[in-house]
Chains A and B, each alone.
Chain A
Amino acid sequence: MRVRTKAGVWFLYALVLFVFVYPLWTLVATVFSRRQARLGELMTVPHGLTGGNVSAAWHLGVARGLLNSLIVVAVGLTLQLTVSSLAAYALARKRFTGANLVMLAILATMMMPEEVIAIPLFQVLGKIHQPFTGGTLVNSYGGLILPLVGWALPVYVLTGFMKRVPLELEEAARIDGAGDLRIFWRIVLPVCRPALGTCAVFGFLMIWDQYLLPLLVSQTPRMDTLTVVVTSLQAAQEQGEGVRLAAVLILAVPGVLVYLALQKLFERGLLSGSLKG
């Protein structure tokens, strides 16, 4: 009986891996296969090894797209986490009139479908001029990044987490004469690392996944982010399936890397309950 249960459990493990992980593996195998895939075909093992698909994709705009996406996500995520944790600090640690109202307003924007405001947002970007070049935010890194900075989710998660940080630490530091910002930086933020890890993973995915905004904002191949490059490769007829899938793979990998790197923090953040609602 127990043997049978055990075998059953391992069978279920295999099934789960097959459904959720095997498709990703076949993507890798197909991209590195020397024999080109037929239309719609994904391989279990590569038929001969080659890096040709990746290098072909690399030269078809994927390199530039990857660079742009990395710039956007690095700057965007830094700004997003900074701005969110500052706000969360005020919401969690200060008492002031209107705090509840602000939190409610921020939550309301979380529910706001960003796709719905993309068109007016684009028009707004066309009205904002950059300080030095004088150009508008259209077709600029500013236009790709700045609209993504104010996001409610990290504010919400960090506020929830900061509220549960014990106050003794903070008080002790204050008696030692530390200022607000110093306390925030040296005491509160380090304690919040799990929550920051959770927010970093979510923020990374949110920014990395952007499609509509870069589609509208980027007006030259030079400014295209990776998602835009990948979807446009779908229509490039000269290349085989392998090249398109190589671009898809390059788009998929960074999310996986970030998750694996931050996994411990991410899960601790999740388990701490900050996302349960």
Chain B
Amino acid sequence: MRTATPRTARSTAAALAAVALLASGTACGSSKSSGAATSKNAKATGTLNVWIRGAGDSPKAYQKIFDAFTAQTGIKVSIGKATLTDFETALSAAASAHQLPDMVVDDAAQLGNFISQGIVLPVDKTTFTGADQLTDQAWASAADLKGKTYAVPFSAQANVLLVRKDWLDKLGLQEPKTWDDVATVAKAFTTRDPDGDGKNDTYGLAVPGSTARGYTSWFWSSFLYSAGGDFLKADGGKFTATLNSAPAVSSAKFLEDQVCTAKDVQPSALGDDTTATNKAFQTGVAGMYLTGPYAYATMDATAIKGEYVAIAPPAGPTGTAGTLAEGTDIFTMADSKQDEVTKLEEFMVTAEAQKLGMSAVPTATIVRLPVNKTVDAAGAHGGDPRWQLAQQVYTTSGHYEYDNAPNWTQLRQKMSDDLNKLLSSCGDAKAALDGMNSDVAALLKQQGVG
């Protein structure tokens, strides 16, 4: 009977051993690699692990391209993380634990950031099959400060203005061509009940004014460019902030007037990200929306299909046409199976893959404007003239942001915070932009390029 105690001890010890076993495989030495990023071609077997910043139906569209690639080469591809929410948080964590995927598809705005962390491998354009088929404008957006290429462009776009045609018609208005037109139409949409439901529940401009991911600044940029201004001035690997220039102040003032004085933006504007703003446009809350052409698919899937038109962004006070151009880039991650990743990248910019990306899944236009010169945007979209417009706006007036600054997202975040503060406090635009200018100058210095 007294054996009770040892028996107890034994079974507890067994439980303890089971727990200890779990920790037994622990590799204590931290595997910190020093120096430049490497690839692990030696381990070039198995499946390519790809992370995608995209949600909803986008991963399905990527899957179509990857399936075609696997059919052609036999190399398997699996989609890992695919989300819009907190994508970079997960990626930073993966990097910090040396658990990066082989390839990442993300906004071009991450370029400088990835380079300065050393988590991407450079792309050798001279050996890259099909490099000459890509537009120079797209390649340029994938180069670092010294002109070395660190990504493969996959998709490009420039913002266009979506306007509710039915609302214009009802109120007898013309499509806006200038900032003043925009202000007039916005006022009418807000006050003259364009949806005719007898309620005072519509607004002129849909504005993604949230500071999340820097949307406030992102939205502002098209106005900044069409006023003839810019965020920074680049000179020999250094940057100067140019945010308190006259065009910058006037464009910020224009937005402030819409938000504070005319009150013709959707009321949730300053907290809305693009998803929420899309919904505001889709559901008839606001009647004008400056956004990328990928929104065509999103909007056409809703009740307002056919009720809106896409037009060129309004020209600024001096008649300048300027709009935000953006890209989606493919990044080869450090420690990846580089040779196979390169094969996949080469495939993803072929005419075949680009067309798949534009139309394989109608609700997800993962390739907005093709980077491949041999592909015609409108043609791939069944002759849709709205894509022709997007293509033309991109080539003639598209401006890229400074994606190759060591951490553009940090700068954009700061500018968004400052601009959002101006729009919500309705204060003095000039003073706010002076503050923004010195904030950005300080960050540039901190990033080593000031």
Residue in contact with B97 in the complex, picked from A86, A122, A220, CB distance below 8 Å: A122
Chain A residues with CB below 8 A from B7, complex form: 179, 181
Does B174 touch A at the CB level, under 8 Å? no
The residue that B275 contacts in the complex, of A40, A128, A130, A234, with Cβ under 8 A, is A234
Q: Which residue of B lies closest to A134 (CB)?
A: B25
- What does the 1/0 interface line of A167-197 toward B look like (CB < 8 Å)? 0000000000111111000000000000000
Question: Which chain A positions have C-beta within 8 A of B97?
Answer: 122-123, 125-126, 138
Segment at the A interface, from B84-92, B217-225, B233-241: B84-92
From A18-26, A47-55, A200-208, A236-244, the one touching the partner chain is A236-244
B19 to chain A, nearest CB (A): 9
A238 contact from B11, B82, B85, B298, Cβ within 8 A? B298
B278 within 8 A of partner (CB): yes
In the assembly, what is the distance between CA of A221 and CA of B22, in Å? 25
Q: Is B79 in contact with chain A by the CB < 8 A criterion? A: yes
Considering the chains assembled together, what is the distance between the CA atoms of A189 and B300 in angstroms? 61
Q: Tell me the complex Cα distance, A38–B199, Å.
A: 15
Partner of A219, one of B8, B30, B59, B80: B80
Contact B8–A180 (Cβ < 8 Å) = yes
Task: State how many residues of chain B have any CB contact under 8 Å with chain A.
Answer: 53
- A-side interface residues, number (CB < 8 Å): 42
A235 & B84 in contact (Cβ 8 Å cutoff): yes
Interface status of A231 (Cβ within 8 A of chain B): yes
> Chain A nearest CB: distance from B107 CB in Å?
14
Of residues 119 to 146 in B, which have CB atoms within 8 Å of A's CB atoms? none
Q: Please measure, in the bound complex, the distance between the C-alpha atom of A142 and the C-alpha atom of B348, giving whole angstroms.
A: 35
**Residues in chain B near residue A249, CB distance under 8 A:** none
- Are A181 and B11 in contact, CB atoms less than 8 angstroms apart? yes
Tell me how far the C-beta of A142 lies from the nearest C-beta in chain B, rounded to whole angstroms.
7
* B89 x A215 contact (CB < 8 A): yes
| Contact string against B for A residues 121-147, beta-carbon threshold 8 Å, 1 for contact and 0 otherwise | 011011111110010101000100010
- The answer to whether A129 touches B56, judged by C-beta atoms less than 8 angstroms apart, is no
Task: Check if B4 sits within 8 Å of A231, measured CB to CB.
Answer: no
The reply to whether B5 and A216 contact each other, CB–CB distance below 8 Å, is no
Please determine whether A127 and B27 come into contact, CB atoms closer than 8 angstroms.
Answer: yes
Interface string of A212-247 (1 = CB under 8 A from B): 000110111100000010011111111101000000
Who on chain A is nearest to B278 by CB? Answer: A237
B12 to chain A, nearest CB (A): 7
Cβ of B99: which chain A residues have Cβ within 8 Å of it?
126, 136, 138, 219
Tell me the nearest residue of chain A to B301, going by C-beta. A238
Judge whether B81 and A119 touch: CB under 8 Å: no
How many Å lie between the Cα of A38 and that of B280 in the bound state? Answer: 9
Task: Assess A180 versus B5: contact at CB under 8 Å? Given A219-B94, A235-B55.
Answer: yes
Does B71 reach chain A (CB closer than 8 Å)?
Answer: no
Contact with A along B6-34 (1 / 0, CB 8 A): 01100110000000011111111010000
Other-chain residue from B11, B24, B283 in contact with A39 (beta carbon distance below 8 A): B283
B392 proximal to A (CB < 8 A): no
Of the residues B86, B96, B363, contact of A123 by C-beta under 8 Å: B96
- Measured CB to CB, the closest approach of chain A to B334, in angstroms, equals 15
Chain B 66-83 interface residues, beta-carbon cutoff 8 Å to A: 78-83
Min CB gap A238→B, angstroms: 5
User: If the complex has contacts A123-B96, A130-B25, are A219 and B4 also in contact, measured as CB distance less than 8 A?
Assistant: no
User: Which of chain A's residues have a CB closer than 8 A to the CB of B5?
Assistant: 179-180
* Residues of B participating in the A interface, judged by any CB pair closer than 8 Å: 1, 3-5, 7-8, 11-12, 21-28, 30, 51, 55-57, 59, 78-86, 89-90, 93-94, 96-99, 101, 268, 273, 275-276, 278-280, 283, 285, 298, 301, 363-364
Could you pull out 15 A-B pairs where Cβ atoms are within 8 angstroms?
Answer: A123-B97, A128-B22, A129-B26, A131-B22, A179-B5, A180-B4, A180-B8, A216-B90, A232-B85, A235-B55, A236-B55, A237-B298, A238-B56, A238-B298, A239-B56
Known: A126-B98, A221-B59, A232-B55. 15 other contacts (CB 8 A): A38-B283, A86-B12, A126-B97, A128-B26, A138-B97, A178-B4, A179-B4, A181-B7, A182-B4, A219-B99, A221-B79, A235-B85, A235-B275, A237-B56, A238-B56
Which residues of A does B touch, CB under 8 Å? 38-40, 86, 119, 122-123, 125-131, 134, 136, 138, 142, 146, 177-182, 215-216, 218-221, 228, 231-239, 241
Closest 9 CB pairs of A and B: A179-B4, A129-B25, A126-B97, A236-B56, A235-B84, A177-B1, A180-B8, A181-B8, A123-B97
